[in-house]
Amino acid sequence: MSEEDIASKCYDIHVSLAGKEVPEFEFIPKVGMMVSLSLHLRGLPILEYEKLRLVSSYYFRISPLLLKDLLESLEEIEFVKLITKGSSIHKIQPQIPFFESVYEKVGEFANNKLSLNEPEELALEIISKLTSAPTEQSNLYSLGAEKKLVDRNLVIGHEGGYILTKRARGKNILLSPLFFSENADVFADLTARAGSTKIKRILELVKSAQGLPLSIIESTMRINENSISIDDLNILKRLAADGAVRPPSIKTTHSGENFFIFSPSPGNSKLNPAKREIYERAMAIVASVRQGQFLAKQFRIYSPVALLKALKRNGYLKSTSETFEQYHQLAVIKVGKMVKVSGDRYQFHLVSSEENTAALDLAISLIDTGNIVNMEINDNAILALQKDQTYIESIISSNNLRTHATIALDEETMQEFDNILLTGLGK
């Protein structure tokens, strides 16, 4: 596992633990917290220590007792400069580079200065395995660790919310909601049926060609240059049909309705809930340009990335007779608007907003690398860091209300509750 991967997985586990303490873990939470602080401090002005202490405790679940040590570690890698008065920190000057990977730099520090214990090593190995695909529980016992240690790690993973066990076809399938945040049942069933290796390969192929139209995959039996089997295609169709890969669709008069395939949407550590809408918009943008790339009637797009960069630069796309149908869905979700030029020719204009620019950047990254980037940031925390101290104080003072407010249940828990209502109460 690369240093970057280690830091990334530590961050995932730290976010998922959401403040729960695991006696065995020391390295993972510390590295996770360092990443969390770095991601959120990038680009901010000089901050009062007091304010950062409150925000860190509230938003990042970082105990005030640990903050000083974390900041000193961040100072060692030159991510912050600490302004001290005597032995206490007075202010923090963030110096997190924009053009370097936060994960890589923190991972490098962790590798040199900190050491993983055995349970932590195993936790990272398990989460790394579950990143690419769900797997049968029995596979974890072949990782080489003692059974007792694996079992304890599974307990931590379940309690910490980064491992989920699903029964499918009589097997225990493990998956991580950090990487497969929706339709756990479908993924578990497909893994029980086809095996982890197959699912992993298919998902890697999808990631390498985000937003490919299903009909093109079906007719060519290929994803990029890689051929796929009928069985692979059926798995892909099942993922699409059951919404596991959330395919947006576009309907045109010349090519009918087409579904565009994406890899599973990630969980909260990589995709902050507040950023989910941006992610949905980015997928819709990718689907529109893929439509023009693979299913154009006359005006084919040869370089989707170049086209999206032009849209970002100019704010609009040149008119064609296919523009209206191709980008209509984007107008519906207010990413852009249609401007009639003549007859059936329309220009697509980007609606200028921070969210749309972020969605466009994400769309470019999705096509270019298959990855989603910069979607883990909690904007509320950044806002709190930039406002004056009374702002965060007022949020914290309303903390009691927040703690006791009812939390809306996710779809899966709701289904379980509905099942209880089927059996219980009132014949």
Partner 1 sequence: MIKDRLLKIKVVEYFVDNFWYPQMEVNMLSKHRISNVPKLITDVDVLGMYPDISGSLHPILGDCKTLKGQSPISRSLWMKGLMDYIGSKKGLIVLSKDIEKEHQITSSLLDIQLLSEADFGLYSKATTNQSITIISALKDIECWDKLFEVDKRFPVLKTFLDFSKTQFWNESSSNYQLRSSLAILRENKGEFNPSNPLHLATVLNHFSIVAIALNNIIVTLFNRYLTPKSKEELNNDLKVFIYGGIENYEFLNNLRNRFSGNPVPEKELTLPEWDMFLELIRLVFEQPKVFSYVPIYLKEISFHFLADGDKSRFSLAPTLVRNEPQLSNYASRLSSYLCKAANLPPEFNEIYSGMLIL
Query: Pick from 193, 224, 301, 378: which binds partner 1 (CB under 8 A)?
Result: 193
CB 374 within 8 A of CB 99: no
Q: Which of 401, 400, 420, 399 is nearest to 409 (CA)?
A: 420
To partner 1, the closest distance from the beta carbon of 240 in angstroms equals 13
Least distance (Å) between residue 178 CB and partner 1: 21
Number of residues that bind partner 1 (CB under 8 A): 27
| Residue 402: φ, ψ to 5° | -65, -40
Between 399 and 419, whose beta carbon lies closer to partner 1? 419
Q: Output the six-digit token pair for 362.
A: 């994400």
* Phi, psi of 5, rounded to the nearest 5 degrees: -65, -40
Residue 185 touches partner 1, criterion: CB under 8 A: yes
CB of 180 to partner 1, least distance (A): 16
| From candidates 14, 51, 166, 290, binder to partner 1 by CB under 8 A | 166
User: For residue 418, what are the CA distances in angstroms to 110, 270, 408, 411, 425?
Assistant: 46, 30, 15, 10, 12
Identity of the residue, 332 or 408, whose beta carbon is nearer to partner 1 in the bound complex: 408
Task: Provide, rounded to whole angstroms, the least separation between the CB of residue 15 and partner 1.
Answer: 22
Identify which range of 132-140, 160-168, 194-202, 217-225 contacts partner 1 by CB under 8 A. 160-168
Give the shortest CB-409-to-partner 1 separation in angstroms: 5
What are the tokens at 407?
Answer: 């939390």
The CB-of-418 to partner 1 minimum distance in angstroms stands at 7
238 binds partner 1 (CB under 8 A): yes
Q: How far is the CB of 125 from partner 1 (least distance, A)?
A: 26
For partner 1, give the closer residue by CB, 168 or 203: 168
Footprint on residues 387-406 left by partner 1 (CB under 8 A): 406
Q: Which stretch binds partner 1 (CB under 8 A): 32-40, 185-193, 244-252, 374-382?
A: 185-193
Residue 419's Cβ-side half-sphere holds a number of Cα atoms within 13 Å equal to 6
Nearer to partner 1, 65 or 405 (CB): 405
Query: What is the nearest approach in angstroms of partner 1 to the Cβ of residue 168?
Result: 5
**Residue of 294, 277, 425 lying closest to 359 (CA atoms):** 277
Q: In this complex, which beta carbon is closest to partner 1, that of residue 15 or of residue 188? A: 188
Does 170 sit near partner 1 (CB under 8 A)?
yes
Q: What is the largest CA-CA distance in the chain?
A: 73
Report how far residue 369's alpha carbon sits from residue 390's, in angstroms, rounded to the nearest whole number: 42
How many angstroms separate the first and last alpha carbons of the chain?
56
Which contiguous run of DSSP H or E holds residue 65? helix 64-76
The answer to whether the Cα torsion of 131, 135, 138, 144 is positive or negative is negative
For the record, the structure tokens of 208 come out as 């390498």
What is the contact mask toward partner 1 in residues 407 to 426, using x (rule: CB under 8 A)? xxx----xx-xxxxxxx-xx
Q: Are 395 and 381 in contact (CB under 8 A)?
A: no
- Interface positions, 78-97, toward partner 1 (CB under 8 A): none
Among 7, 74, 188, 217, binds partner 1 (CB under 8 A): 188
Asked if residues 319 and 345 have their Cβ atoms less than 8 Å apart, the reply is yes
User: Can you give the binding site for partner 1, defined by CB under 8 A?
Assistant: 166-170, 185, 188-189, 192-193, 238, 406-409, 414-415, 417-423, 425-427
